Amino acid sequence: MTEQKPFHNECHMNSRCNQYDRCPMVTVHQIISGKWKLLILWYLNGKTLRFGDLQRKLPDATQKMLTKQLRSLEQDQLIIRTVYATVPPKVEYRLSDIGQDLIPLLESMHTFGAKHYTQYDENL
């Protein structure tokens, strides 16, 4: 019998994820948690955007926070940052192949949001 890792004991998927050193949901949580990460990934779906484009799409995000979230997504290899040697510098962001793998998950989340929109819209 395989020894259960302590953090798998409470998981309803413990028999499926016990083969890993940590629950795969922990990995997902670590790479997409952040106030703006989901929306950044969503807006980059099928597009290449510049920093200013993302700022316009996320007007409540400060420049500092948006920069921090973009750097984190780049470090986690979910987006690709391309810098063009122009004056002023031009920087573009797009989804990496790994980032593209998240799109079906984001589409499911969008479907959930659309289905329950009226129930939660009043409280948000």
Contact between 41 and 4 (Cβ < 8 Å) = no
Closest CA to 102 of 76, 66, 69: 76
Tokens encoding 118: 């009226």
Per-block mean pLDDT, blocks of 10 residues, the chain (124 long): 54 75 84 94 96 96 96 97 92 97 95 87 66
DSSP 90: E
Q: What pLDDT does 5 receive?
A: 54
Amino acid at 106: L
Q: What pLDDT does 44 receive?
A: 98
Rounded CA separation 113/124 (Å): 12
- pTM for the model stands at 0.84
Rounded CA separation 69/57 (Å): 14
Report residue 33 CA to chain centroid gap: 7
